Amino acid sequence: MGQGAEPLVRLASRVDAIEPFYVMELMKEAQALERAGRDVIHMSIGEPDFTAPEPVIHAAADALKRGVTQYTNALGITPLREAIARHYRDTFGLTVDPERIVVTAGASAALLLACMALVDNGDEVLMPDPCYPCNRHFVSAADGKPVLIASGPAERFQLTAEHVEENWGPATRGVLLASPSNPTGTSIEPDELRRIVDTVRARGGFTIVDEIYQGLSYDAKPVSALSFGDDVVTVNSFSKYFNMTGWRLGWLVVPRSMVSAVEKLSQNLFICASALAQHAALACFEPQTIAIYEARRLEFKRRRDYIVPALRSLGFGVPVVPDGAFYVYADTTTVHHPAAGNSDALTHSMLHDAGVVLVPGADFGFHAPERYIRLSYATAYSKLEEAVERLGTLFR
């Protein structure tokens, strides 16, 4: 080692269990093209193009002026926990004790806290393949073992009670689900979700359900997994429906028996969620703000109703129409292109030959990832139209 060279640092083995986001390499290519003057349409990142509405901005400014920017209770400020409880009553007809609600530094912190509280070293946690990659990484970070189960169009790309029964083993501790899902935008049918919860409960396991996209449901009134018992753990966020991605604010609903454990973990790992974001989020639940969010939800639905048939007209298969979130999981095997069925090569072609960025399936699991791409329609309607026009030069 030369003079002044930095010594190598031995990293913990858990780092190796967490794969990188492959799409980030594609994003680097897109950014290089943009620096060179190329116009690129981004349909890759799962972030609403809408930002926090004016009532939330005003609430944040008011909180800043009042100086409410110091540490809060690790469980979150009481008014926000109460507002979230009222939201469950108004939206789902559920009575949720505010004491069971834990405000977190985003849904990521919520998922990490849930896994740290429930997963022991070597515990197996069942989840569908495909799924949001960070979900399995949260399990790995808690020294557990994520077990991904191939879930195709016949299952709406979701775990089923039959999957749970067939794959539950001596080391299985529980399941981690998402409804609606990233990357597929599909929800678990309520009756099936009830069967999953019952199946897991009968085996003494836990059920964690990521519901961060539930506010963006389009075809039926959503049903929270909390409807199926107070032992279910749910995760939610102010990022998607509430359009506050960079504010890093989310929440957990946990059984009463878990509250003190999660509070202890939160105190040590995060201290608390952003005080400013918490006070701003109170404005999310005002009637005039909900009206804004509902108008935006309908705009997302309008985009979905445009992009799904547009993709099919380009030759893509859409085996399951997404009923929520802002994603389409499209089958590439039917397009007229040399890279058909090879989502990695195809997304590179779409970027370099058409200036459109989408996500290959490799980030989302191990079951036929080369077959699928994920498209995010969380961008302006006019951009979607332009992207389809550009892609038409490749596939028509």
Q: Flag whether the pTM goes above 0.85.
A: yes
pLDDT in tens, 209-228: 999 999 999 999 999 999 99
Mean pLDDT of 301-307: 98
Do residues 158 and 186 touch, judged by C-beta distance below 8 A?
Answer: yes
Q: How confident is the model at residue 343 (pLDDT cuts 50, 70, 90)?
A: very high
Helix spans in the chain (H): 23-35, 54-66, 78-92, 106-118, 133-141, 161-167, 190-202, 259-269, 275-281, 287-313, 343-354, 381-395
- Of 96 and 45, the structure prediction assigns the larger pLDDT to 96
Helix axes 287-313, 381-395, angle to 10 degrees: 10
Q: Give 178's strand partners.
A: 210
Half-sphere exposure of 52 (CA within 13 A, CB side): 23
Return the pLDDT at 371.
97
Report d(CA 326, CA 374) in Å as an integer. 10
Assess whether the previous peptide bond of 180 is cis (omega < 30° from 0).
yes
Q: How confident is the model at residue 4 (pLDDT cuts 50, 70, 90)?
A: low
Name the CA radius of gyration of the chain, rounded: 21
Instruction: Kindly report, as residue ranges, where domains of CATH 3.90.1150.10 are found in the chain.
Output: 13-51+289-395
Mean pLDDT of 348-372: 95
Q: How confident is the model at residue 1 (pLDDT cuts 50, 70, 90)?
A: very low
Return the pLDDT at 19.
78
Per DSSP, the residues of 333-355 read: TTSSSTTTT-HHHHHHHHHHHH-
Report d(CA 81, CA 101) in Å as an integer. 6
Residue 47, number of CB atoms within 10 A of its CB: 17
pLDDT in tens, 226-244: 999 999 999 999 999 999 9
Return the pLDDT at 3.
60
Return the pLDDT at 5.
66
Return the pLDDT at 18.
79
Mean pLDDT of the chain: 95
Spatial CA neighbour of 312 closest among 388, 223, 233: 388
Mean pLDDT of 32-59: 95
Instruction: Compute φ and ψ for 146, nearest 5 degrees.
Output: -70, 135
- In this predicted structure, the answer to whether residue 267 has a pLDDT above a threshold of 60 is yes
Question: Cα angle vertex 337, ends 334, 342, to 5°?
Answer: 70
Mean pLDDT of 359-386: 96
Mean pLDDT of 164-188: 98
pLDDT in tens, 366-375: 999 999 999 9
Report d(CA 266, CA 103) in Å as an integer. 10
Return the pLDDT at 146.
97
Assess whether the previous peptide bond of 319 is cis (omega < 30° from 0).
no
- In this predicted structure, the answer to whether residue 139 has a pLDDT above a threshold of 50 is yes
Q: How confident is the model at residue 22 (pLDDT cuts 50, 70, 90)?
A: confident
Instruction: Kindly report, as residue ranges, where domains of CATH 3.40.640.10 are found in the chain.
Output: 54-285
- In this predicted structure, the answer to whether residue 191 has a pLDDT above a threshold of 50 is yes
Q: Which CATH number fits domain 54-285: 3.40.640.10, 3.30.70.2470, 3.90.76.10, 3.40.50.1220?
A: 3.40.640.10
pLDDT in tens, 43-55: 998 899 999 999 9
User: For the domain bounded by 13-51+289-395, which CATH number is listed?
Assistant: 3.90.1150.10
